[in-house]
Amino acid sequence: MSAQSLKVVVLAGGISHEREVSLRSGRRVADALAEAGHQVTIVDPDAHLFSYLSREQPDVVWPAVHGASGEDGALLELLEASGTSYVGPVGSSARLAWSKAVAKTLVARAGVETPDSITLPREAFRELGAAAVLDVVPRKLGHDLVVKPVHGGSSQGVSLVLSVESLPRAMVDAYTYSDLALIERRVYGTEVAVTVIDEGNGPYALPIVEIVPSAGFYSFEARYNAGETTFFTPARLSDSVLDSVAECAVAVHKTLGLDFISRIDFIVTENGVPVFLEANSLPGLTETSSAPLAINASGQEASTLFDALVQRASRSVRRDA
């Protein structure tokens, strides 16, 4: 039971492609906070949200809205502008993580490995044509590729490309979710997810989760359908490699200015090198998400950890950069 019972609003739902995932995350957050003794209400954000918050005056808001409506920074900036305390980073930092291309650039400059890549806007792809793309991309990246939307989550619009002939179709799929597509050289190794927590004394990594999809690709279905993926926590890596991955995850979290809770994804190569894939500023917390597994493996209860985060948020006064 929390020492101080707070009035908490959990935002879940929204209008993005990840609405159902958000609702599942929000319910688990709400249940954990209620278990900790807080007064919790789940609210689906819409045109009445800010009048509702003004009227109800919650102590803390926990945004569990995935996709563009929650993770592109706009919602967080508006919460901040309204004087609402919330769990999450400032809006500008969420925006950096939301753009996979920008995040890659910043993380690489900070000294963390990332896959070689090309970012291609939809208009450039149309104007230059598939033939030009088929000609240029293999010269830099080879023929074994991953194509993904620059903006988006949960592996929606992501394709593995084993031959350049299938690249145009993969580009079209990525453009369904974003006007920018990221083409990366595929990196082989152990896929891991690292949940980073900051209760107010600095960020630290929870036990690292290894992800082994049954179909070999961590797709949307593999993420959210029970039994589609096997998880190992901690990941089946040496202690020295685990320490290196955790260090890189905290470095990414700091580089992008993330806060409270984030998830940082890597491929760890055969040589034990963590290669950064992407960062999530408002990670999924569903029954099949990696963050709850990491929390359990750390020996903490979700209710205790989430209580610490909302208590910290209730004391926070932040301004966006």
Q: Tell me the per-residue pLDDT of 46-58, one tens digit each, with 9 for 90 and over.
A: 999 999 999 999 9
pLDDT of 320 reads 46
pTM for the whole thing?
A: 0.92
Whether residue 321 is predicted with pLDDT greater than 50 in this model: the reply is no
pLDDT at 216 over 70: no
pLDDT at 112 over 90: yes
In sequence order, the 6+-apart residues with CB closer than 8 A to the CB of 46 are none
Instruction: With a cut of 70, say whether residue 24 has pLDDT above it.
Output: yes
- Model confidence at 218, in pLDDT bands (50, 70, 90)? low
pLDDT > 70 in the chain, percent: 93
Mean pLDDT throughout 208-235?
75
SS3 content of the chain, % helix, strand, coil (to 5): 40, 20, 35
Chain-wide mean pLDDT for the chain? 90
Cα–Cα distances in angstroms (integers) from residue 179 to residues 123, 175, 226, in the given order = 8, 5, 31
Q: What is the pLDDT of residues 244-277, one digit of tens each?
A: 999 999 999 999 999 999 999 999 999 999 999 9
Look at residue 109 and tell me whether its pLDDT is greater than 50.
yes
Picking from 129-138, 238-247, 262-271, 303-312, which range would have the lowest pLDDT averaged per residue?
129-138
Which residue bears the tokens 């963390």?
A: 112
DSSP per-residue string spanning 9-64: EEE---SSTTHHHHHHHHHHHHHHHHHTT-EEEEE--STTHHHHHHHH--SEEEE-
Residue 21 CB-density burial (10 A; 0-12 exposed, 13-18 middle, 19+ buried): buried
Give the pLDDT confidence of 178-211 residue by residue, as tens digits: 899 999 999 999 999 999 999 999 999 999 999 9
Which two tokens mark 128?
A: 């230059």
> Could you say which DSSP state residue 118 is in?
E
Q: How far apart are CA 289 and CA 293, in angstroms?
A: 7
Position 197 scores a pLDDT of 98
pLDDT score recorded for residue 3: 65
Instruction: Return the SS3 of 111.
Output: coil
What pLDDT was estimated at residue 56?
Answer: 96
pLDDT of residue 319: 45
Task: For the chain, list the domains and their CATH numbers.
Answer: 7-88 (3.40.50.20), 97-113+188-299 (3.30.470.20), 117-185 (3.30.1490.20)
223, pLDDT greater than 70: no
Most confident range (mean pLDDT) of 57-61, 64-68, 216-220 is 57-61
User: Using alpha carbons only, what angle is made at residue 254 by residues 159 and 89, rounded to the nearest 5 degrees?
Assistant: 80
- Quote the tokens at residue 154: 């949960």
Q: Is 129 helix (H, G, I), strand (E, B) or coil?
A: helix
Predicted confidence (pLDDT) at residue 110 exceeds the cutoff of 80? yes
Which of 80-84, 155-159, 308-312 has the lowest average pLDDT? 155-159
Q: What is the pLDDT of residue 227?
A: 64
Q: Which residue has the higher pLDDT, 180 or 70?
A: 180
**Predicted local confidence at residue 226, as pLDDT:** 59
In DSSP terms, 195 is beta-bridged to 263
At residue 156, what is the residue type? Q
Question: Is the Cβ–Cβ distance between 264 and 281 less than 8 Å?
Answer: no
Q: Region 150-162: what's the mean pLDDT?
A: 81
Give just the sign of the alpha carbon dihedral 119, 120, 122, 123. positive
150 DSSP 8-state letter: S
The pLDDT score that the predictor gives to residue 66 is: 84
- Between CA 229 and CA 66 the distance in angstroms is 21
Q: Which two tokens stand for residue 210?
A: 């290894």
